Structure 1
Amino acid sequence: MQEDRAPAGPRRPRAALAMGAGVRDSVFGTEALGRLADLVDLHQEVVTGPDSAPLADAEVLVTGWGAPAVDDRLLARAPRLRFISHAAGTVKTFVDPSVFGRGVRVSSAADANAVPVAEFTFAAIVFGAKRAFTMAERYRTSGTKRDFSGMPWLGTHGITIGLVGASRIGRRVLALLRGLDADLLVYDPYADPVEIAGLGARVVELDELLRRSHVVSLHAPETPRTAGMLDKERLALLPDGAVVVNTARGSLIDHDALVAEVTAGRLDAVLDVTDPEPLPAGHAFFGLSNVFVTPHLAGAQGNELARLADSALREVARYCSGAPLRHEIHADELGRIA
């Protein structure tokens, strides 16, 4: 852990934590808070809004889930703010673009959060292809050990897996999928085909990906362009028996159209995110054996939260020492990141 020790010399900026109630204790344990205090002169009061006292002299904010909006109002109370290290994924929910105009640098632990999402997605793809959820329900209700009747295909051997979005999560999923004997396709308008080829996949247009894929996994950000991108017409392109995996955002799929497809039994789905979220009690997805719904838990949970704190602390150490940041977010990326 040499990287996150206090830098040589007197460079210890004033800093504060800014996050929702309880987040400090769940993400930053005693050891992590001690490491942070070794790096900076840390306010004990957590910033919860634009009127919080630590903002007056804080140069560094370490943020987390539930952080207050960092906008013009807060910036007016934080004249010395120069760096935000976010101990979670997206910064779009609380960082106003004016932050970048003020010259404040922003870093995110999204790469650390991508690790458990990619692991979860890989498991969802394998379980989905194996029809594990449908088979478990058949076993529970009928007691039949292996009833494969009506399965259009089963298993990962020789199938085509399509990833919509070559995000940091999508790339991690690709790395895990390379261990399967499957054909890998990617749709991403920003992806470099040569780079994606190096990851063992091929870039294609979205409609081609949907027509060819046995499993489709979504890793695109939520933007006006991607909202409802898997609508009725595009879901219809998927071959019979295809599996839709969504660990990105529920709004990427037209859920009414997906309900029709899974109710008919033409498609299966593994959904960690939905629209709306949470789903209302009694929603059709809950009553179908070919749909497996989890409560948005693919991202860092439990002991995985330590990765987020560690990532944020390492960025603070780099900032304090003048080293290049590894996970900096730039203003021109806001329109296409999650």
Structure 2
Amino acid sequence: MTSTTRTDVWLPLPVDSVSGLPESLDYHFWDGGDEFPADPARCAFYVVPYMKGPQASVRPIPEMRAVQVVQTLSAGTDHIEPALAGLPAGVRLCNAKGVHEASTAELTLALILASLRGVPGFVRGQDEEEWRSGFYPALADKSVLIVGYGSIGSAIEDRLAPFECARIARVARTPRTTARGPVHALDQLPALLPQADVVILSTPLNPSTRGLVDAAFLAAMPDGALLVNVARGPVVDTKALLVELESGRLRAALDVTDPEPLPSGHPLWHAPHVLISPHVGGSTSAFLPRAERLIAAQLTRFAAGEPVHNVVHTTG
């Protein structure tokens, strides 16, 4: 079989670094650079470059008229889905379920513990050679609300389990029952928020969640509560959050912001009681081996004519 009859795959990782790839496919390495590695019109399986920005990620898509699968290496696909609108029906968009759960859940717990226990203040105290002793809030005996109970939300609860929380409540778009307890619908938030000492956002960004955390949502949280966002920045109304932070009523720990990256001079940088990390929930040493396993598994299914996993959207 000549290369002209084989199926083109675009990978953002060097081909020889990914073990287990089917030999029946033709691979082209592209990590978002200016030059395309091959004709986009021949690409059948496109693995989107990771952390290269939405403009680079979507740039070849309008020319990919033969593409069948678009595979992201991110949990969220909101930056890719709009670019698929002009493609033929039947193109499957897949997310990176299984890649980011552990790392994102780790960071979520780190942000909660650092914020509650005053770690940012300790670091500033160390810089100033100040001994900032005293009593600080614990995670133990707190009531926690997880908003967005997919695989990442479930992984977060896995790691909350040893911390002796008083109560963990779960909210998702679709209510259901799990082994741990009920998952409530989004419309139950007004009743659940006043009971939550810690509110964790791990929901995808879509029309139902954009701006979900608005002034009314924040006002329903009790005094002193902590908002943790490891989802997407636009899930939160930044101006409404700033009002609550500057009043001293609420605290926040944010791995994502709106706008993002947060520009120099933005008031969120220096708002009281806020801890900010630069969207590093998934970018850890755990990413690459999991991403490589996902790519190899998906392409093995694709080459064999089997259904790919993690489909979150199909065009048409």
The TM-score normalised by the length of structure 2 is 0.81
2:44 paired residue number: 59
Q: Any idea what the Cα deviations from partners look like across 1:166-205, whole Å, max 9, x if unmatched?
A: 122112112221222111012223131x12xx13565371
Tell me the residue number matched to 1:115. Answer: 102
Residue aligning to 2:71: 85
Displacement of 1:93 in angstroms is 2.5
1:227 Cα shift?
Answer: 2.4
Q: Are the aligned partners of 1:212 and 1:239 in contact in 2 as well (CA < 8 Å)?
A: yes
Instruction: Compare the two structures and name the one with the higher strand fraction.
Output: 2
> Offset at 1:304?
2.1
**1:123: how far off?**
1.9
**Equivalents in 1 of 2:142, 2:182: separation in Å?**
13
How far apart are residue 246 of structure 1 and its match?
A: 0.6
2:173 aligns to what?
189
For 1:124-135, list aligned pairs within 5 A: 124-135=111-122
- Please tell me the root mean square deviation across aligned C-alpha atoms, in Å: 3.2
Contact 2:10 2:43 (8 Å CA) reproduced = no
Alpha-carbon deviation of 1:248?
Answer: 0.9
- 2:21 corresponds to: 36
Contact between 1:226 and 1:252, CA under 8 Å: does it hold in 2? Answer: yes
CA contact (8 A) 2:105 2:155 kept: yes
Aligned residue number for residue 173 of structure 1: 156
Fraction of identical pairs, as percent: 25
- Distance, in Å, in 2 between the alignment partners of 1:91 and 1:203 is 24
Change (3 A) 1:215 1:14: same
Counterpart-to-counterpart distance in 2, 1:97 and 1:175? 37
1:74-96 deviation line (CA, Å, top 9, x unaligned): 244x3xx4333333333443341
Are 1:94 and 2:80 an aligned pair? yes
| 1:198-220 per-position Cα deviation (integer Å, ceiling 9, x unaligned) | 13565371112220111111112
Is 2:284 the counterpart of 1:317?
Answer: no
Residue of structure 2 equivalent to 1:218: 201
Offset from partner CA, 1:104-147 (integer Å, 9 cap, x none): 33433243123311221122223233233344445654722413
- Structure 2 residue runs without a partner (length 5+): 51-55
The number of aligned residues is 302
Are 2:20 and 1:17 aligned? no
User: 1:184·1:200 contact (CA, 8 Å) conserved in 2?
Assistant: no
Distance 1:45 1:141 in 2: 47
Counterpart amino acid of 1:114?
Answer: E
Equivalent in the alignment of 2:235: 252
Cα pair distance change 1:210/1:308, threshold 3 Å: same
The one-letter amino acid of 2:291's match is L
The SS at the match of 1:236 is helix
Pick aligned residue for 1:74 from 63, 84, 89: 63
Aligned to 2:53: none
- Provide the C-alpha distance between the structure 1 equivalents of 2:60 and 2:78, rounded to a whole number of angstroms: 10
- 5+ residue gaps in structure 1? 1-11, 19-23
Distance change >3 Å, CA 229–CA 89, structure 1 → 2 = closer
SS in 2 for 1:111: coil
Change (3 A) 1:87 1:244: closer
Query: For residues 202 and 91 of structure 1, what CA distance do their matches in structure 2 show?
Result: 23
Label 1:257 to 1:329 Cα distance change in 2 as closer, same or farther (>3 A): closer
Instruction: Check whether the contact 1:14–1:59 (CA below 8 A) recurs between aligned residues.
Output: yes
Distance 1:67 1:201, change over 3 A: same
